[in-house]
């Protein structure tokens, strides 16, 4: 396995832990489900366009990262590492779903474990 997965996980964890002290953001906040769902949709869509799962994952993470950066510039808002972790979870689930069910030829099951 490549070093990219562990380094990516470490980076997401570092951002999450670094921003936790700055924000009173609950792990079970109602917005986390929205982050997972939207990122899963982006993950599935990007998996349809990119063969490489890591490229699809990176593309699926772009909207979530941009949203958190935008949040950090707004008054009475903050960058949330927990939201970014929820985005990563949704993007990973969506990319995997896209690779299992949605193929480049359309909808169909592909056994790619």
pLDDT, tens digit, for every residue of 33-81?
999 999 999 999 998 888 899 999 999 999 999 988 988 888 878 888 8
Domain that holds residue 11: 4-22+29-107
Whole-number percent of the chain with pLDDT over 90? 34
Overall number of domains in the chain: 1
- 37 in a structural domain: yes
pTM check: above 0.85: no
Q: Is residue 112 part of a domain?
A: no
Residue 102 within any structural domain of the chain: yes
Q: DSSP for 68-113?
A: HHHHHHSTT----HHHHHHHHHHHHHHHHHHHHTEETTEE------
Q: Is 38 within the bounds of a domain?
A: yes
């Amino acid at each position: 396995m490549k070093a990219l997965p562990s380094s990516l996980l470490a980076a997401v964890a570092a951002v999450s832990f670094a921003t936790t002290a700055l924000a009173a953001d609950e792990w079970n906040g109602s917005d986390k489900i929205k982050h997972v769902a939207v990122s899963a949709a982006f993950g599935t869509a990007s998996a349809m366009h990119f063969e490489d799962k890591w490229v699809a994952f990176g593309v699926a993470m772009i909207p979530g990262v941009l949203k958190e950066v935008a949040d950090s510039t707004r008054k009475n808002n903050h960058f949330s590492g927990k939201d970014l972790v929820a985005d990563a979870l949704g993007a990973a689930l969506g990319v995997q779903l896209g690779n299992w069910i949605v193929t480049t030829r359309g909808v169909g099951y592909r056994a790619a474990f």
